[in-house]
Amino acid sequence: MRATFHLKTLTVAIATLSIASITNAAGLDRSGQDVTAFLQDGTYAEAVYTYIDADVSGYDSSNNDPLNNRYERGNKTGDIAESYDFFRYGVKTDINDTFSIGVLYDEPFGAAAEYKGDNNFVANTNPADSAGEFANDPAPNDPISGGTTAALKPAIIGAENSTAGENTKVEVRSENLTAILGMKLGADKNFQIYGGPVAQRVKSDVKLRGLAYGPATSYTSHISPDQDYGWLAGISYSKPEIALKAALTYRSEIDHSMNIYESYPLAPTLSGGALPSTQVTNMEITTPKSVNLDFQTGINPTMLATAKVRWVPWSDFSITPPLYNAASKNPVSRPDGLNLVDYEDDQWQVELGLAKRIAPALAVSGTVGWDSGAGDVTTSLGPIDGYYSVGLGAKYNVTPEWAVSAGGKYLWFGDAKGQLPTGKIVGDFQDNDGYILGVKLSYQGE
């Protein structure tokens, strides 16, 4: 006789796997843009809090010559990763046996990093003593300014003095609000198509300090919060007899046109007086599209297997502040200038899990995960090349409808070299790790 694993008997195990899953990934990816709250049966609501604490440390380069890309191990950077937290909310209900509606909130993209201590990512209080040997012989045209390294040295030291003691720091925050309408199809309502609009809000602050950034030292930018819109679409299939659910979800790119304040003390020097040292202007950013695959199936009446796969084309993403870009242009070697941030590769992320109901109101789960990263070398503002992870979770049903879940994940980060947009390697980051903790309150009714 064929075993049946009714979905309701496994509901206590389902949500344990998404507490701290698909989080802290390549590029600026953070939440994983999970939509599984909408895929639950009946009326469902959840509130999730996630806390990330990573240890990302390495060494700067003692080579401060902007014309020489050779990496020479220098001082320790200390831990540059700032602790980071965010919330996720979701609510969903069935209008009838065909139509469902839901609203999801998450914080999909972000970054939080700061360099401290005695290294070349901190504006030195006496830069003339730590600037190292700039080229003393007549140099070819500098790839940034068209001048020589020797001519830039006083200007770089002057910019260092103007921000003495300040740290390189980056903070990026985003928010998504997604409305979803789903329609079930087929005689048994096994298939569902769903979609809806997405409102996205983004803001950021960047400070580049220290001799590692050469002429870009003391650069500052502030992006005011900007809201723009995209969309989501997906298809799902369910077979309740074996607790099977599968969903494929596509999220569109979202184009932002935002105000940006920039301060670039050396811009007038680099441009021969053609550029200002500060300006407020408009910048275009396109946050990336993504595809998520969510799958689960019952193994036996008390055990559930899950798989999550996510793809994000970070190689298409860049941040190109106008003043930063204009100051980096060279009519011969770099007519289009530089991006402040870009990535070499697309991100692939995979997570596999098992959940086991060990008591009528208690379930536990475990996961293993892999993230490809977005390429090595990578930006000095986020020097991680993917990770491997293991996670544990538990869920306890306080009542048949209300449950509390908690989970944690440990991550081994891939080694990465921090690179400037000019191609110069300015840091080497190895043997780093981190952990993620999450708590969820959920409600599931008929």
C-alpha distances (whole Å) from 378 to each of 46, 103, 371 are 35, 35, 15
C-alpha distances (whole Å) from 432 to each of 33, 267, 414 are 25, 36, 7
Dump pLDDT digits (tens) for 295-333: 999 998 889 999 999 999 999 999 999 999 999 888 877
Cα dihedral: 7, 440, 80, 203 (round 10): 100
pLDDT at 27 over 50: yes
∠ CA 183-443-173 to the nearest 5 degrees?
80
Question: Strand 416-419 to strand 378-379: parallel, antiparallel, or no bridges (unpaired)?
Answer: parallel
Q: Whole-angstrom Cα distance, residue 7 to residue 139?
A: 71
pLDDT at 101 over 80: yes
pLDDT at 421 (0 to 100) = 87
Among the listed residues 54, 53, 28, 57, the one whose alpha carbon sits nearest the alpha carbon of residue 418: 57
pLDDT at 139 (0 to 100) = 40
pLDDT at 18 (0 to 100) = 53
* Percent of the chain predicted with pLDDT > 70: 88
pLDDT at 287 over 60: yes
Mean per-residue pLDDT over the chain, rounded: 86
Q: Whole-angstrom Cα distance, residue 72 to residue 338?
A: 24
Q: Whole-angstrom Cα distance, residue 131 to residue 110?
A: 32
DSSP label at 154?
A: H
Q: Give the list of residues 6+ apart from residue 358 with CB closer than 8 angstroms, or none.
A: 302, 364
pLDDT at 270 (0 to 100) = 87
Q: Give the list of residues 6+ apart from residue 295 with CB closer than 8 angstroms, or none.
A: 245, 246, 247, 306, 307, 308
pLDDT at 301 (0 to 100) = 85
Q: Whole-angstrom Cα distance, residue 417 to residue 71?
A: 10
Q: Whole-angstrom Cα distance, residue 401 to residue 445?
A: 6
Dump pLDDT digits (tens) for 118-175: 899 998 756 555 544 444 433 444 444 444 455 677 777 777 777 778 899 999 999 9
Per-residue buried b or exposed e for 309-344, using 16+ beta carbons within 10 Å of the residue's own CB: bbbbbbbebebbbbbbbbbbbbeeeeeebbbbbbbe
Cβ 369 vs Cβ 393: under 8 Å: no
Q: Give the list of residues 6+ apart from residue 187 with CB closer than 8 angstroms, or none.
A: none
Dump pLDDT digits (tens) for 189-234: 999 999 999 999 999 999 999 888 888 889 999 998 999 999 999 9
Q: Whole-angstrom Cα distance, residue 380 to residue 378?
A: 7
Q: Residue 85 forms beta bridges with which residues?
A: 51
pLDDT at 146 (0 to 100) = 42
Taking the model in full, what pTM does it have?
Answer: 0.89
Dump pLDDT digits (tens) for 424-437: 899 999 999 999 99
Strand order in the sheet with 58-61: 73-76, 58-61, 425-429, 416-419, 378-379
Cβ 85 vs Cβ 43: under 8 Å: no
DSSP label at 353?
A: E
Banded model confidence at residue 277, pLDDT cuts 50, 70, 90: very high
Instruction: For residues 270-279, give the mean pLDDT.
Output: 91
- Beta-carbon count within 10 A of 274 CB: 10
pLDDT at 90 (0 to 100) = 95
pLDDT at 24 (0 to 100) = 55
pLDDT at 269 (0 to 100) = 87
pLDDT at 278 (0 to 100) = 95
Q: Whole-angstrom Cα distance, residue 234 to residue 90?
A: 17
Among the listed residues 220, 211, 119, the one whose alpha carbon sits nearest the alpha carbon of residue 160: 211
Q: Whole-angstrom Cα distance, residue 409 to residue 122?
A: 32
Instruction: Give 6 or 75, the one with higher predicted confidence.
Output: 75
Banded model confidence at residue 97, pLDDT cuts 50, 70, 90: very high
Q: Whole-angstrom Cα distance, residue 215 to residue 329?
A: 13
pLDDT at 7 (0 to 100) = 47
pLDDT at 6 (0 to 100) = 45
Instruction: Give 363 or 132, the one with higher predicted confidence.
Output: 363
Q: Measured in whole angstroms, how far is the alpha carbon of residue 40 from the centre of its chain?
A: 26
Q: Whole-angstrom Cα distance, residue 211 to residue 61?
A: 10
Q: Whole-angstrom Cα distance, residue 445 to residue 337?
A: 56
pLDDT at 389 over 90: yes
Dump pLDDT digits (tens) for 49-77: 999 898 999 999 988 877 778 888 999 99
Q: Where are the domains of the chain?
A: 7-445
pLDDT at 23 over 60: no
Fold of the CATH domain 7-445: Porin (2.40.160)
Which residue has 């048994």 as its token pair?
188
